[in-house]
């Protein structure tokens, strides 16, 4: 028994080396420029573990708008310009709409969600039902809910501004869970909310590109669990249990309580349960469960992140805040609160919202796509199987496109919706994988921003000597990036 251990390790090492060599050898020349590649390991040591968009952005200056990275034999293409993203991910979407098979999210059960699924029939079916429920026309029925939750957020913040992050999560979670399952979350300890939040944290960590060795060397998943270096297998096992619970528990609650009248209508799951008259096949039910979790996952941290960025931007830029408030006072007046339908008559607020999406996109690297066949772009070879990462952060901070990109300046759009749309076209992703929740998300965000501006003065706290204390600008890493609150509001 003891002799078999070194043999197993040796065999795994030989297999890994052979696999890497084969992948390296298979790669042809004339790929886009990129960081230096070493034999076997490629450029993997150049990929940072955190805030990768910053490094990828530096690469844009050195290598240009399309960068080739070899990560342990896995080809990666980083796209640093909106034009290239549009040329490839939008215009050639039939071959750029796959997702990379990332082993860590797969081990965690995350690939049941269509957000991470390959470009397949199963993805198509899940996406179709979500896209129907969140079309521009369909999302209107959720406006009253979004407006009510925005007002509750304001009430809560007036009572205790220091709970901003928690209350934002609670309100955004309440909206999504209500819309997906018909359950109304009343407090932050609601198990459906806490399980969903934990699952989203797992999603963000598990899908961060370049962090998990098993994503590059899938055979590492066969390591025995006692071997040093195999801790990720234990982590994945724990995460999988949480993710599956977060998907099935709220659905089963909805299904069980539909007849009792405790389920609020309309909601996504009830609608499909009713349409199929409760007679869904196991396969259909599975799709519904994971489609609902995808909505929950897609809509929670992204919206919450944008709201926190909005508060940060308002604290740091009082003149921008006052300009938008003046517009609301002028157009809406003092007798009512703004509603989502007012969006068309508030260009200054629309510009401010676009600037929040630009200043710090909630998903700075979007979600990686994958290329399903060899392609050629500007005489460069893009190999089949490449992981394609749209660096939205750089596209939205390219000084050639957005002068003084770190400044929060809604005037840069000069009130032109066409310019604002260029920002949302990037921050909500590309091609056939672009965010299906965009219209819904924009409704929630407008409701929150306009209600807060109409009712609150957002200002920094003061210390005991009356000095203003400004928060540090620091963001979390991971697929979804959120402002880390360093001082209370």
List interacting residues with ligand HEM (CB under 6 A).
114-115, 127, 130, 134, 294-295, 298-299, 302-303, 306, 362-363, 366-367, 369, 427-430, 433-437, 440-441
SS3 189: coil
Peptide bond into 266 cis (omega under 30): yes
Q: Which two tokens stand for residue 376?
A: 């050629």
105, 207 Cβ separation under 8 angstroms: yes
* Minimal distance, residue 117 CB to ligand HEM, in Å: 7
305, 484 Cβ separation under 8 angstroms: no
* Minimal distance, residue 57 CB to ligand HEM, in Å: 17
At residue 363, what are phi and psi to the nearest 5 degrees? -120, 85
Q: Between the CA of residue 315 and those of 286, 306, 455, what are the distances in Å? A: 44, 14, 15
Q: Which is nearer to ligand HEM, 253 or 290 (CB)?
A: 290
Q: Which is nearer to ligand HEM, 43 or 450 (CB)?
A: 450
Angle at 78 between CA 72 and CA 80, to 5 degrees: 160
Q: Which is nearer to ligand HEM, 43 or 267 (CB)?
A: 267
Q: Which residue has the tokens 């066949």?
A: 373
* Minimal distance, residue 343 CB to ligand HEM, in Å: 15
Strands 468-469 and 380-382: unpaired
> Rg (Cα) of the chain, in Å, rounded?
23
* Minimal distance, residue 360 CB to ligand HEM, in Å: 10
Q: Which residue has the tokens 């090492």?
A: 13
Q: Which is nearer to ligand HEM, 150 or 363 (CB)?
A: 363
Q: Which residue has the tokens 């926190």?
A: 308
* Minimal distance, residue 300 CB to ligand HEM, in Å: 8
Q: Which is nearer to ligand HEM, 220 or 295 (CB)?
A: 295
* Minimal distance, residue 142 CB to ligand HEM, in Å: 10
138, 129 Cβ separation under 8 angstroms: no
Q: Which is nearer to ligand HEM, 183 or 369 (CB)?
A: 369
How many angstroms separate the CA atoms of 384 and 371, rounded? 5
Angle at 90 between CA 89 and CA 96, to 5 degrees: 35
348 is in an annotated binding site: no
How many angstroms separate the CA atoms of 395 and 364, rounded? 10
Q: Residues comprising the binding site?
A: 435
Q: Residues comprising the binding site for heme?
A: 435
């Amino acid at each position: 028994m003891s002799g078999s251990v070194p043999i197993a390790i040796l065999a795994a090492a030989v297999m890994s080396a052979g696999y890497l060599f084969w992948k390296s050898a298979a790669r042809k020349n004339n790929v886009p420029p990129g960081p230096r590649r070493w034999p076997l390991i490629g450029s993997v040591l150049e990929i940072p573990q955190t805030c990768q968009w910053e490094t990828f952005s530096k690469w844009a200056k050195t290598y240009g708008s399309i960068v080739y990275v070899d990560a342990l034999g896995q080809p990666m293409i980083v796209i640093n310009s909106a034009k290239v993203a549009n040329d490839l991910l939008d215009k050639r979407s039939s071959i750029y709409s796959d997702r990379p098979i990332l082993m860590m999210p797969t081990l965690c059960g995350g690939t049941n969600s269509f957000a991470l699924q390959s470009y397949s029939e199963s993805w198509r079916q899940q996406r179709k039902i979500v896209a129907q429920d969140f079309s521009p026309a369909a999302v209107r029925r959720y406006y009253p809910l979004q407006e009510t939750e925005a007002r509750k957020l304001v009430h809560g913040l007036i009572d205790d501004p220091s709970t901003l992050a928690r209350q934002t999560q609670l309100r955004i979670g309440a909206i999504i869970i209500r819309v997906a399952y018909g359950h109304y979350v009343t407090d932050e300890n609601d198990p459906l909310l806490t399980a969903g939040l934990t699952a989203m944290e797992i999603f963000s960590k598990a899908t961060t590109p370049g962090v998990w060795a098993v994503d590059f060397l899938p055979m590492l998943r066969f390591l025995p669990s006692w071997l040093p270096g195999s801790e990720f297998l234990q982590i994945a096992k724990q995460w999988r249990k949480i993710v599956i619970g977060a998907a099935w528990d709220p659905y089963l609650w909805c299904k069980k309580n539909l007849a009792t009248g405790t389920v609020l209508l309309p909601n996504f799951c009830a609608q499909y349960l009713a349409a199929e008259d409760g007679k869904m096949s196991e396969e259909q039910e599975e799709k519904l469960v994971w489609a609902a979790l995808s909505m929950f996952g897609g809509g929670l941290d992204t919206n919450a992140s944008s709201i926190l960025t909005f508060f940060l931007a308002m604290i740091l830029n009082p003149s921008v805040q006052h300009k938008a408030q003046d517009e609301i006072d002028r157009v809406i007046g003092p007798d009512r609160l703004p509603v989502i339908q007012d969006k068309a008559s508030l260009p200054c607020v629309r510009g401010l919202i676009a600037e929040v999406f630009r200043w710090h996109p909630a998903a700075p690297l979007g979600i990686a796509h994958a290329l399903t066949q060899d392609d050629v772009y500007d005489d460069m070879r893009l190999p089949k199987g490449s992981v394609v990462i749209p660096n939205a952060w750089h596209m939205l901070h390219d000084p050639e496109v957005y002068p003084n990109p770190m400044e929060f300046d809604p005037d840069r759009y000069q009130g032109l919706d066409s310019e604002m749309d260029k920002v949302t076209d990037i921050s909500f992703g590309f091609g056939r994988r672009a965010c299906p929740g965009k219209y819904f998300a924009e409704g929630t965000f407008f409701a929150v921003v306009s209600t807060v501006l109409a009712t609150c003065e957002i200002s920094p706290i003061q210390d005991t000597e009356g000095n203003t204390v400004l928060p540090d600008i620091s963001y979390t890493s991971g697929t979804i990036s959120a402002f880390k609150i360093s001082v209370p509001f």
